[in-house]
Structure 1
């Protein structure tokens, strides 16, 4: 199980009507602090609340809806009017958050805490960050600037600017752990979603804002096939037209890992048609031929905001 945020019981929180007599040591504030965590691999996370040197540092603002930044390439063909779209991608973008420290003992405490915050956020390599107000989404970022917009002997007010390297957010975890995929604003249909199937006809719901494309976009994607086939095993995404098939029979575990097919962990490319599988936004209708067993789709969701 992936644990993103702190497991502490007494996290900083906004005081409620039942806490009118709350004391400072009871971790109550006049606003709603937003917890955030960072991770190098998207699996092991460190919450700001679990860093002793950052006690009292609170996030007061994050991007409510991160704006997509689209970059398009066009070409003029002959003397035809207008231009034609050659390619389109989502470019890097800036994300900003604001953090404060209000209970410092003295100037030395302020300086040491700012230094600890810098060590926590500024790294040579990009890393994943997750904000509590969008808890199923993570962003691949580098911190560019920790602007000291207000610094006193009692605390500080810091604006942090990140560069989102990918330009989209990714789900925390994959479809094999749907608790990290489902959530507020994640395109969930009214009907339930499933990602493991035993029949020959089924529907895969891609809740992303984009096509899942392991070949051209490099999206992590696995189709895990467990069972047996007497030969001419074939999987077709009727929505996209993608097809992968294997003429020879097999028994065991066949995995399409991105663009590489494997049988029992060994490359199986020469026994297939070199096909790939992509997933269109929304519903994808699949048909499976000459197979008895289970097929599981394991991939991350991608969203614009």
Structure 2
């Protein structure tokens, strides 16, 4: 009996969160997960070469997409039950649109993935045990996202867990009537709004020639217009809006990025009262 319990012991549970709001996990269809393997990052470097010039000219580096493989076991009372559980797995796995998966061992982050290839099933013990292997490929960026955004209330279990890189009580992402502050990107990856969809800077209040400067990397955003006490200026991806209307033409067409770690900011052109908020999801390797 002890041997039987050891064989059925699982190492983790995988949660599937779909874009329609539905959530299921591997326990729902009796799949005992043994391994959840995320492929290591692969660097891709680009160079140019010029005749008679030693070496090469670096043009940039990036990371390739990654594959994620999960293996587990189905324990059936009768071999005839396989069709039912296979269909449950198929409905979950073989969707044509991306979705999020989360490993219970690292509950603070999720992977945005697309199913790849064909599920494999190997029957043993007269069909009562089925070895299952599923594979995904990262969709978009090859990094995991934080479950919580920087606007999520700091409470245990609300996307915040040990190991996520958070220094409790030392992070602040909303500031009122102060022109100098620090924004901490506690992830592993630089946040660039040209690549990262979920990054917004929201300024509420009066300003004249609002200037936002990240001293860490010398990024400067400039809004050449004015705003009133009740106005809201939003920087989101490469767009800038004022009270919902596009005002990109009134900016210097620059974006603000966040390096990993501390980013010190200076504001100019502000007028109290005002509030500025940084809302984003940190990314992890």
TM-score normalised to structure 2 length: 0.85
SS in 1 for 2:249: helix
Matched, 1:272 2:272: no
Matched, 1:136 2:108: yes
Which residue of structure 2 lines up, in the alignment, with residue 107 of structure 1? 79
Which of 146, 150, 159 matches 2:133?
Answer: 159
Which residue of structure 2 lines up, in the alignment, with residue 59 of structure 1? 33
RMSD: 2.5
Which residue of structure 1 lines up, in the alignment, with residue 173 of structure 2? 195
For the 8 Å contact 2:110–2:145, the answer to whether it is kept is: yes
Cα distance in 1 for residues equivalent to 2:47 and 2:166? 34
Which residue of structure 2 lines up, in the alignment, with residue 171 of structure 1? 146
Cα distance in 2 for residues equivalent to 1:303 and 1:210? 6
Unaligned runs of 5+ in 2: none
Cα distance in 2 for residues equivalent to 1:80 and 1:185? 47
Equivalent residues in 2 for 1:29-44 (5 A)?
31-41=9-19, 44=21
Matched, 1:117 2:97: no
Cα deviation, 1:235-287, whole Å, max 9, x if unaligned, reads 11111111112233212111011111101111111222222111111111100
Matched, 1:89 2:62: yes
For the 8 Å contact 1:224–1:297, the answer to whether it is kept is: yes
For the 8 Å contact 2:17–2:24, the answer to whether it is kept is: no
Which of 221, 225, 241 matches 2:199?
Answer: 221
SS in 2 for 1:294: strand
TM-score normalised to structure 1 length: 0.80
